[in-house]
Chain A
Amino acid sequence: MIKYYNNIRLGAKKLEPQKSKRMSGARILVETLIEQGVTDVFGIPGGQVVDIYDELNRARRRIRHILTSHEQGAAHAADGYARVSGKVGVALATSGPGATNLVTGIAAAMLDSVPMVVITGNVSTQLIGRDSFQEINITGITFSITKHNYFVTDVNELADTVREAFRIASSGRPGPVLIDIPKDVQTAKTLFAPKAPEPPDALPHADEKDVLRAAEIINRASRPYLYIGGGAAANGMGKQIMEFAEKTDAFIGCSLMGISTVPSSYERFLGMQGMHGRYASTKANTEADVIIGVGVCFSDRATGDAKKYARRAEIVQIDADLAEINKNVIVDAGLVGDVKKTFSMLLDAVEQKRRPQWHKRALELKSEGRRIFNSIDENALSEITPKQVFEMINGKKEADTVVATDVGQHQMWAAQYLKFEKPRRFISSGGLGAMGYGLGAAIGAVIAEKKRAVLVTGDGSFSMNLTELATAVSYKIPVVIVLMNNSVLGMVRQWQTLFYGGRYPATDPKRKTDFVKVCEAFGGKGERVSSAEEFEAAFERAMKFDGPYLIDVPVDKDELVLPMIPSDGDLEDLITTDERKNKQ
């Protein structure tokens, strides 16, 4: 069974001899990347990828390499690049520690279905399995965090392996694919001829009978709610979703991954739902009688206790991945296939229908949500409240500015308050929730868009990968860094406040980090602000700076992200006020 590798020479027959050139594996890799349309690679060199770097240098006019400070930053950058552009992001690292440093970045891409090809070097095949210097079985390590991975042992298989990797990464439900290439495969020579890249495999639409059954469920319902996620975002389905909502009088909420799919200003959009979601969308789940999930996985963060989720509603789910149907919640109609095509069929199949009572109720929820949000803001403890921070960013950023976040309280505030009118403008580690994701991802976004990005981060997350400031300085990458600094690990502290009797082990590190000086030490700029006016002026300066510009915004360490649903609660258990204040 486990033969080391069988000797299939994929496509060898198809090579046209007259066009073929004899070249090294390293060069074949670079030529194949170019052939696949790759223009940017993020990575760090090392002993087992020197050959590849030599070839990247030779091809430097056709493909650009961005040197990051840490391989994790390279992986997050490739991920951010892919999320905003829809192209396959590429990261490159050496064997051993280079490869293991990529792991968090690969996992983040896997859990958020981001198309990525990750290339690692490895020791020569004769040194494999001997615990050689910087030898790691990275294919074994990444089995469960890649869509697929390869260990290439024959240079004749290399080009077609790379081609297949790109196809797998971008087909169906996208995801990261890793290719591990031993050094001797990089130096071995064989014939190579470029091929036109193949488009991703087209997924069929769902079965028509199933679509009609789902349409029937929706037609007989009186309170339809669209719950949209990463699948809708990645397929650019904003317009269709809005058409569907108009036709059926449905209202729309989203998961974290679904933000920036429909314009925030759209009247029927109720915002992100779930643990820290907006009141209106979260409540709409409990009041709707049909929930139409589009490219969502019904994550615990979005649904609360799955057993108690949507007790009053029938559920229709559309997903590219068969394994998502009935995984977390049992649905009444599961439609598997190309999400966009299938949703179009459903859009055609449903009846045009006014549902005035539901329409009125949803707008009531929306205004009730606004009232609750205002009261949360009125009770905010910080000098510059989270609402003020984000309203300022909303006002000052351009319509197509990408905003990246890290993970924690600031991320949830960003998800609650930020407004987007265009698709693919919000990038955040949703599934893995990887603190330290943001700076690398923002850099990737800037490279993809050739345009300034904003990073919203916290002091805890930023401390994890701030070394990518060096990358932003080297390449003059304009990133406005809004650092919401409460000098504690705020989200964990919030749990400690609410559910652990106000005991705060390990969340109040008493650090004295001066983040402004840190940014300046790397060669960027920064300033600390203490009022909303100062923040506004600083943000304007930052939007003009040619590199990383950090704004240190003080946040009260007792500020809570509200509303909140306890992690074992269901959507009815929404906490909307800080109980401590009520007791006083």
Chain B
Amino acid sequence: MKRYVLSVYVENKYGVLTRVASLFMRRGFNIDSLTVGETENPAYSRITITLHGDDYTCEQIINQLKKLQNVKKVKLLTDDVKVERELMLIKVKNNSENRNDIMAAAEIFRAKIIDYNPEYMCVEVTGEPSKINAFIDVMQPLGIVEMCRTGAVALERGRAKLVD
């Protein structure tokens, strides 16, 4: 199974997110994450979708997305041309035994501790999804209380643009 990142440029209108999301349900496609937000043009939003699958599924998803009236552009962002980031907030147990490990890991991962009290710490991590996964693996034995991931956002490198 390969991982795919799609960038979808949509009109910022009533119900668009529902249309996109319900398409995945209706066609039986599974996605890993979906993020959405305004673009440089407030009349449009950009949706970033990540999924695991094969080329056939990915092609079907792109073709079905293109059929939605509010979708203006769909592009597959391949590894060689994209920059990608995800943000995670993760709350872990704070005690004398693991405190140093957490802070060392945060240092190495260039993460930030954004909340601290004698029992819990909250860490903000940004990076490629694989880096986020690696940080979770480090935190696992130390006691994760809860966590929240934004899902990936991505842009093309260099001068390339999704829309002109």
Contacting residues, chain A, for B23 (C-beta < 8 A): 144
Contact A144–B67 (Cβ < 8 Å): no
Q: Assess whether B22 is in contact with A143, with CB atoms less than 8 Å apart.
A: yes
Interface pairs (8), CB distance under 8 Å: A1-B38, A2-B18, A6-B14, A143-B22, A148-B69, A323-B63, A323-B64, A326-B59
Q: A235 contacts which chain B residues (CB < 8 A)?
A: none
Q: Does A539 contact B (CB under 8 A)?
A: no
CB-CB under 8 A from B38, the residues of chain A are 1
Question: A293-330 CB contact bits vs B (8 Å, 1 = yes)?
Answer: 00000000000000000000000000001110111000
Find chain B residues with CB under 8 A from A3 CB.
12-14
Question: Is B14 in contact with A2, judged by CB distance below 8 angstroms?
Answer: yes
Bound CA–CA A325/B38 (angstroms): 32
Residue of A nearest to B22 (CB): A143
Q: A1-B45, A321-B67 are in contact. Are A327 and B60 (CB under 8 A)?
A: yes
B14 touches A323 (CB 8 A): no
Q: Which residues of B sit under 8 angstroms from A2, Cβ to Cβ?
A: 14-18
Tell me the dominant secondary structure on chain B's binding face: helix
- Measured CB to CB, the closest approach of chain A to B151, in angstroms, equals 14
* A168 lies within 8 A of B13 (CB): no
Which residues of B lie under 8 Å from residue A148 when comparing CB positions? Answer: 68-69
Q: Residues of B contacting A4 with CB < 8 Å?
A: 14
Residues of B at the A interface (CB closer than 8 Å) are: 12-19, 22-23, 26, 36-38, 43, 45, 56, 59-60, 63-64, 66-69
The chain B residue sitting closest to A144, CB to CB, is: B26
Q: Shortest CB–CB separation between residue B69 and chain A, in angstroms?
A: 4
- Whether the pair B18, A143 counts as a contact (CB closer than 8 A) is yes
A-B pairs under 8 A by CB, number? 54
Q: Which residue of A lies closest to B37 (CB)?
A: A1
A136-165 vs B, CB cutoff 8 Å, 1 = contact: the mask equals 000110011001100100000000000000
Question: Are A1 and B60 in contact, CB atoms less than 8 angstroms apart?
Answer: no
The complex places the Cα of A326 from the Cα of B57 at a distance, in Å, of 10
B15, B37, B59, B60: the one within 8 Å of A139 (CB): B15
User: In chain B, what residue has the closest Cβ to A140?
Assistant: B18
A500 within 8 A of B: no
Q: Which residue on chain B has the smallest CB distance to residue A145?
A: B26
Chain B residues with CB under 8 A of A147: 69
- With a CB–CB cut-off of 8 A, which chain B residues contact A5? 13-14
CB contact under 8 A between A143 and B14, given known A321-B67, A322-B63: no
A6 to B69, CA, bound (A): 16
Cβ contact within 8 Å between A143 and B43: no
Determine if A8 is an interface residue (Cβ-Cβ < 8 Å). yes
- Main secondary structure, interface of A, reads loop
Q: Are A1 and B16 in contact (CB under 8 A)?
A: yes
Residues from chain A with a CB closer than 8 A to the CB of B67 are 321-323
Residues of A within 8 A of B56 (CB): 326
Contact of A1 with B64 in the complex, beta carbons under 8 Å? no
Interface residues in A241-288 by Cβ distance below 8 A to B read: none
Q: Are B60 and A323 in contact (CB under 8 A)?
A: yes
Minimum C-beta distance from A64 to chain B (A): 30
Which B residues are CB-close (under 8 A) to A143?
15, 18-19, 22
The proximity string for A residues 423-442 relative to B, scoring 1 for CB distances below 8 Å and 0 otherwise, is 00000000000000000000
Chain A residues near B36 (CB-CB < 8 A): 1
The 3 closest A-B pairs by CB, nearest first: A323-B63, A148-B69, A144-B26
CA–CA, A326 and B62, complex, Å: 13
- In whole angstroms, how far apart are the Cα atoms of A4 and B63 in the complex? 27
Known: A3-B14, A144-B23, A323-B63. 15 other contacts (CB 8 A): A1-B38, A2-B17, A2-B18, A5-B13, A6-B43, A139-B15, A140-B15, A144-B26, A147-B69, A168-B69, A321-B67, A322-B63, A322-B67, A323-B66, A323-B67
Chain A residues with CB under 8 Å of B15's CB are 2, 139-140, 143, 151
Assuming the contacts A1-B36, A321-B67, A323-B64, asked whether A144 and B22 have C-beta atoms less than 8 A apart, the reply is yes
Distance of A323 Cα from B23 Cα, bound (Å): 13
Distance of A6 Cα from B17 Cα, bound (Å): 15
CB distance from A536 to the nearest CB of B (A): 48
Please give, as numbers and ranges, the residues of chain B lying within 8 Å of A327 by CB-CB distance: 60, 63
Q: Which residues of A contact B69 (CB under 8 A)?
A: 147-148, 168
Alpha-carbon distance between A364 and B19 when the two chains are bound, in angstroms: 50
CA gap between A521 and B98 in the complex, in Å: 84
Give B10's nearest chain A residue, CB to CB: A1
With A and B bound together, what is the CA distance between A151 and B15 in angstroms? 9
A322 touches B66 (CB 8 A): yes
A1 touches which of B12, B22, B26, B43 (Cβ 8 Å): B12
Residues in chain A near residue B12, CB distance under 8 A: 1, 3, 6
Contacts A148-B69, A322-B63, A323-B67 given; indicate if A8 touches B43 (C-beta within 8 A).
yes
